Chain A
Amino acid sequence: MWLASYPKSGNTWMRAIVTALGTHRHLFAVNQLGSGAQPMYVGGLLPAFGIDPRWLDRDEVDLVRNMLVRRWGEQDDDETSSRPILRKTHEVYREGAAGREPFPISATRAAILVVRDPRDVACSYAPFFGLDIDGSVDALGRDLPEGKASPANSSTVQPWGSWSSHADSWLADSVPFPVHLVRYEDLKSDAVSTLAPVFDAIGLECTETELAAAVEQARFDRLQQSERNVGFRETSRKTASFFRRGTSGGWREELTATQVAALEADHAERMDELGYGLTTDPVERAALFEVRESRRRQEAAEWWRLPERMGIEVTVGPVPEELPGATRPRPWIQVTPDEALVRFAAGSAVLVRAGKEAVVEWQPDPDRPDDDPSWMVQGWAVTLAMLQRGDLSLHAATVEIDGEVVAIAGNRGAGKSTTSMALRKRGHRLLVDDVTLIEFRGNEAWTTPYSRNVHLLPDAAEAVGLDFDAMRVLAGGRAKVGFRAEDPPEQPHRIDRIVVLAPGRPATEVQLTEQRGSARLASLMAHTRRDGIAPLVLGQDRYFSLLAKLANAAPIQVLSRPLDEWTLDEVLVAIESGRPTG
């Protein structure tokens, strides 16, 4: 029988009540609460089997956890026909591999999930884990990866997810045993009425009088007093007291409006479902959630790392000032047959060799250490490497619109990122921004998307409802921020249509014009030359051959718009419909 909860949500208090139920009131002690052993620790293998789990590998540790939990189940059945034993866990519910299930069904009768308003959890989580409140708010929103088991510490993984994903996991329909939900706030207001039906359902038999006495025995102020008197062995090393306030609604005095907004943005859906009233504006909340998710994705990814499948090894280190014998299509770009070196205004540089090796010389601004340098790798290094491999890259975002894959090309400032982000907001899937890598299969052009930031100017961020100031600024003095959308699928996609954004062309309204004949070639040239590097690296012949192939691979449309008196929605509708209007 699992007693599951996110940390600092009342699990220990529940254990105190259950312990008090089975203990004479004179013997009840705060340091003898039952069910304290958590399942991730497999040190019990040593006395049980003589095996020191520190000598096992990660899979073997998971295997013995499953076995030890099943043994608990057997012991609990043997010893307590009428009184189920609750086992504490902070982990998310997950199925696990066959034979290594962390919560084996055969050993589980049911679970009680205790939930607490995340705004109060954040206040309690901070001192317990030695964080400030902002750190605590961030931690509740971070769906931590499972990490690795640590056989050296005799432990399996203990993922507890974010506040939302923890509750989601236990309340999912796929959980194969009954889960009884208990809200901390209901416990506070009337523990007896809240617990009586739950205990009845799980077979923990007691009268209302007994339950009331147990609740009285485990009253929060009594636990606090006991901790003051004799200490509490389960407390964290980072806090002076485990039993802190034990209130509900204390967040109103402890949290700032910004912290409340962040928590509500991160957990709105689950909070609403669990009856925790939201206090912020829904539109602002959704936009804030997007920005916070973007930051979390950025922080989870090392800026210099590219997906392994791309075959580009990136290192950070010095690069040479000059490439001997290099051609310079621009003053800041040097190209030789095997190497390409790009120097940036703020002193950083990227050197790419043989299509598979990139060196980034990164000069962070000491006054702006949080600025994001990933654009050097995700943009320049990738583009140069692909050219060195003999492949073309299109200066375009790619979006899947109702199953049709549309590349949206355009010069700098044409609105590719704004358009692709706005299409994403309308429910279409953003595959990649700014760099669409082209490979040919027969006469078709295909692209394999990869994760990279969308770069947004202030007006672009505003156009898609995002707070520019809350996003990570691109390093190197660039006036853009980076937005990291959800990771795209890794499989190749056939490009069905190419739309070239052409602002400033004479137009009285938003027009989509199908390109024909040599105009097809001309409309793509500006978006494939890559500052003149492509013809240099690929060679003129190959470059034009690939360009011609791309021009014939999919319909090409130019989207013109007037200098003013147009709306983003008109542009989006035109792209979505794909019907030429000019």
Chain B
Amino acid sequence: MSDVPTPSDPTLDREVEPWLGTFPGLGSITVAQDGSVEIMPESDPEEDSTMRERALRFGWAEGLSLVRRGFSLASGAAVQLPEPTAHESSDDGAESGALILTGDPHDVVIVIAELVERGAKVIADRFTPVQWEQGRLTAYPRAAPVLMASRRAKKLGLQGRKVRADTDALELDVPRCEQPRRVEGVANVGMRRPHETPLTALAGRQKFEAAAGLMFAGALRETSGDNSDAGSAMADHLRLANLPYSNLRINSDTIHEDVDALLGWIAQPDVAPTPADSSAAAER
């Protein structure tokens, strides 16, 4: 028999105040009702405690804190587009809006890297805090850095820093957008299979299905609140389905053309969020 004790499971207790999460060997976190967090990394002689503190903060506490502060979390990264879209630029001095990128984070980060090359700024990696404001879905920035697998970074010629002592995840230096941005559309990113086209705009039922999977459930959703009944959940779903959706199928050899297609799609005048009912009752 081994002398090494069997590790216990990570736990997240949302029945206590503050919420308490423990990850054996890594540390624990608390997340209070007002969203304030406390990070308690365990010490490990083989790893800088700053790395463990950041892992607990960005990998766990930040998401729960956003939930407690009333945000919904969209299951995808968000970037501020390089240029305002056609309907945005009709407003004088309009800032460009946000594009949410769903899909495997391993694939999404390729598109992020390409968009950054063209002047985009990252609002959030992996998941994005969002709120409805004046009938428009608005993406808020989060602090966690953009991560990429070292092999992929090397292939793309990107530099990064290891986030943990024993990992292949690198933190990339990318420009960040620090302000909330209205969401202009959602693209689901995947690697392109034979016979697939780079970009397909979704319509009808496809949009409805895509909207159904956009928001996180489970631990990354506050259980109490206005949206706990089926009626308001359906209303949320319908509002989300008003966004423009597309499937972006990429290939590392054609990433420039693929992202051209994405930007071409989102720039079309008729690709715009349909303003939803902006009554106060619909706002959070």
Contact = CB atoms under 8 A, between A and B. Distances in A.
Could you say which of A52, A53, A67, A231 has the most chain B C-beta atoms within 10 Å of its C-beta?
A: A52
A50 B219 contact: yes
A57 interface: yes
B191 A237 contact: yes
A99 interface: yes
A508 interface: no
Interface string A364-403: 0000000000000000000000000000000000000000
A50 B64 contact: yes
A98 interface: yes
Contacts of A231: 193, 195-196
A48 B166 CA distance: 24
Contacts of B144: 52
Given A47-B217, A240-B194, A152 B23 contact: no
Interface string A57-71: 111100110010000
Interface in A145-172: 148, 150-154
A579 B146 CA distance: 72
Contacts of B59: 51-56
A50 B64 CA distance: 7
A193 interface: no
A46 B216 contact: yes
Contacts of B24: 63
A54 B169 contact: yes
A58 B166 contact: yes
A49 B9 CA distance: 11
Counting contact residues on chain B (CB < 8 A from A), the size range is: 35 or more
A50 B217 CA distance: 10
Contacts of A100: 7
B82 to A, nearest CB: 26
Contact of A152 (B5, B8, B147, B194): B147
B58 A55 contact: yes
A97 interface: yes
Interface size band for A = 35 or more
A99 B64 CA distance: 26
B10 A49 contact: yes
A38 interface: no
A214 to B, nearest CB: 27
Contacts of B165: 57
Given A60-B25, A152-B170, A47 B220 contact: yes
A60 B191 CA distance: 28
A581 interface: no
Contacts of B196: 231
B56 to A, nearest CB: 8
A235 interface: yes
Contact of B10 (A52, A64, A238): A64
Contacts of A52: 58-60, 63, 126-127, 144
Interface core residue of A50, A54, A97, A237 (most chain B CB under 10 Å) = A50
A64 B9 CA distance: 7
Interface in A110-156: 148, 150-154
A239 interface: yes
Interface string A238-259: 1110000000000000000000
Nearest to A41: B104
Given A150-B168, A152-B167, A237 B192 contact: yes
A569 B55 CA distance: 65
Contacts of A154: 105
B23 A60 contact: yes
Nearest to B195: A240
B204 interface: no
Contacts of A98: 2, 4-6
Contacts of B25: 59-60, 63
Given A50-B60, A56-B55, A152 B106 contact: yes
Contacts of B169: 54-55, 151-152
Contacts of B217: 47
B4 A97 contact: yes
B194 A49 contact: no
Contacts of A240: 194-195
Interface in B1-48: 2, 4-10, 12, 21, 23-26, 47
B164 interface: yes
A513 to B, nearest CB: 53
Given A99-B7, A150-B149, A153-B106, A239 B164 contact: no
Contacts of A236: 193
A236 B192 CA distance: 10
A350 to B, nearest CB: 31
Given A50-B64, A55-B58, A59-B166, A239 B194 contact: yes
A146 to B, nearest CB: 14
B147 A47 contact: no
Contacts of B9: 67
A570 B64 CA distance: 78
Nearest to A68: B9
A152 B148 contact: yes
B193 to A, nearest CB: 5
B104 to A, nearest CB: 8
Interface string B155-197: 0000000011111111000000000000000000001111110
B150 interface: yes
Contact of B126 (A54, A97, A148): A54
A485 to B, nearest CB: 32
A123 to B, nearest CB: 19
Contacts of B2: 97-98
B219 A151 contact: no
Interface string B79-100: 0000000000000000000000
A153 B25 CA distance: 21
B10 A51 contact: yes
B219 A49 contact: yes
Contact of A49 (B8, B12, B58, B127): B12
Contact of A235 (B8, B10, B152, B193): B193
Contacts of B60: 49-52, 55
B269 interface: no
A148 B219 contact: no
Given A52-B59, A54-B126, A152-B150, A47 B219 contact: yes
A453 to B, nearest CB: 30
A153 B170 CA distance: 11
| From B24, B165, B219, residue with most partner A Cβ within 10 Å | B219
B105 to A, nearest CB: 7
Contacts of A59: 25, 166
B119 to A, nearest CB: 25
A55 B163 contact: yes
Given A152-B168, A237-B193, A55 B148 contact: no
A48 B219 CA distance: 6
A51 B144 CA distance: 13
Q: Which of B5, B105, B217 has the most CB of A within 10 A?
A: B105
Nearest to B66: A50
Interface of B: 2, 4-10, 12, 21, 23-26, 47, 54-55, 58-60, 63-64, 67, 105-106, 126-127, 144, 147-150, 152, 163-170, 191-196, 216-220, 251
Given A50-B220, A99-B8, 6 more contacts: A57-B47, A57-B166, A60-B25, A99-B7, A148-B168, A236-B193
Question: Closest 3 interchain pairs by CB?
Answer: A55-B59, A152-B149, A47-B218
23 contacts: A48-B219, A49-B12, A50-B67, A51-B23, A54-B169, A55-B55, A56-B26, A58-B166, A63-B10, A63-B24, A63-B25, A67-B10, A97-B2, A97-B4, A98-B2, A99-B6, A99-B7, A100-B7, A151-B164, A152-B106, A152-B167, A154-B105, A237-B251
